[in-house]
Structure 1
Amino acid sequence: MNGAPTSPIRLPLDEQLDCLRAVLSRNEILTEVLDRAAKLDLPGWYVTAGCLFQTVWNVATDRPPTEGIKDYDLFYFDAGDLSWAAEDAVIRAGREVFAGLSAEVEIRNEARVHLWYEEKFGVPCPPHDSTEAAIDSFAATTCCLGVRVEPDGRWRVYAPHGLSDVFGLVVRPNPVLAPRSVYETKTARWREQWPGLTVLDWP
């Protein structure tokens, strides 16, 4: 056993963070999105959700780091102007910044989510007070992960439920906002792509 590599699940949190950055850096599209997103200088921004944990799943299962990743979510938080016009202006600016990437970057102002969430998902969403609060509301705790690059080049990682489930390919429900149907639809799709996942039942 001496000298055997330690699973990231068993590492202290600081070493898990180093491992996370090393793994995510293997996704060259993701690192490019992070670098370009920093230039937009959006308030409270994070690249978040599927593009992060699915990169980890791909690397853990010996797949190309970008395989199966539909898009790259860029969240920010600006409560100063909740109009669609203001958000659309940011989206259009993002199209220029991300032009030429071989992936779609979806930009959303999380201060506006409560204005459209119920119509789309059938349940009301209280107004978020930060990007972090929006990340907290994802249907699975495994999805609750955000990364951004600070002006000094340091990676800021938001992971309210830790990283062990992400590295362990465990999907755990987070029944705080999204309905059960959203969780089950997502996990069914993920199981097809990553059959080694452990998907825990909705409570």
Structure 2
Amino acid sequence: MEQRFLRDTLANRNNRAILDRWATLDLPDGWLVAGCLFQTVWNLQAGRTAEADIKDYDLFYFDGGDLGAEAERHVQARADEVLGDLGITVEAANQARVHLWYEAHFGEPYPTVLRNARDGIERFLVPATCVGIRPGEVCAPYGLDGLYAGVMTMNPLVPHRALFERKVASYRARWPWLRVVEGSPV
């Protein structure tokens, strides 16, 4: 299943270009994550182009040595410099500092201080969307079956029902075949 996932996500030319430039990004514990991956899969399943309606391309990294917003802005500037010619929005986020800004941004407390970037991937609102890739590696803590089946459940590690419902409504507006199932794979 991981090989299928890699093949599908790399059908998106932007995902492929980002991984081709990975070494230049030089992200500590770095991952390409979230929407640019699972939305590519859903686009392909729906017969759409791989890149259709993908808002942004998220880069997670982990730098516990500098929790300042300024350091994160420097990483973002480097990502913009390396990937700017692609004509896409790329957002870099230091997972070591998520607990510092999450509540102000989303209106809900973040449940933990993360220890690495994988911890951040594991805490997306919908477990089927908890995915990341980097050259030679896939991170899918809850597997890939739910992603390919279009099953949306709430992640008990981030139990924010209102945020979950908004996220699912956004996904279903673009991929109406997705379905919500109560319960959790965690």
Q: Under a length normalisation based on structure 1, what TM-score does the superposition of the two structures give?
A: 0.86
Q: Deviation per CA, 1:18-43: give whole Å up to 9, x if none.
A: 11111112111111122223321111
Shift of residue 202, structure 1, vs aligned partner:
7.2
Aligned to 1:32: 17
1:146-185 aligned within 5 A: 146-149=132-135, 155-177=136-158, 179-185=160-166
Q: Deviation per CA, 1:76-126: give whole Å up to 9, x if none.
A: 000001111111111111110011112111101010111111112223222
Figure out how many residues of one structure are paired with residues of the other and give that number.
183
Q: Which runs of 5+ in 2 are unaligned?
A: none
Aligned to 2:128: 142
Which residue of 44, 50, 62 corresponds with 1:77? 62
Which residue of 19, 32, 49 corresponds with 1:47? 32
Runs of 4+ in 1 over 3 A off after TM superposition: none
Aligned to 1:93: 78
Say whether 1:123 aligns with 2:138.
no
Secondary structure of the equivalent of 1:91?
A: helix
Secondary structure of the equivalent of 2:85?
A: coil
CA distance in 2, matches of 1:123, 1:169: 26
Larger radius of gyration: 1
Identity of aligned residues (%): 41
Aligned to 1:133: 119
Secondary structure of the equivalent of 1:98?
A: helix
Q: Under a length normalisation based on structure 2, what TM-score does the superposition of the two structures give?
A: 0.93
Say whether 1:60 aligns with 2:45.
yes
CA distance in 2, matches of 1:33, 1:171: 27
Give the RMSD, CA atoms, in angstroms: 1.4
Q: Which runs of 5+ in 1 are unaligned?
A: 1-15, 150-154
Say whether 1:108 aligns with 2:100.
no
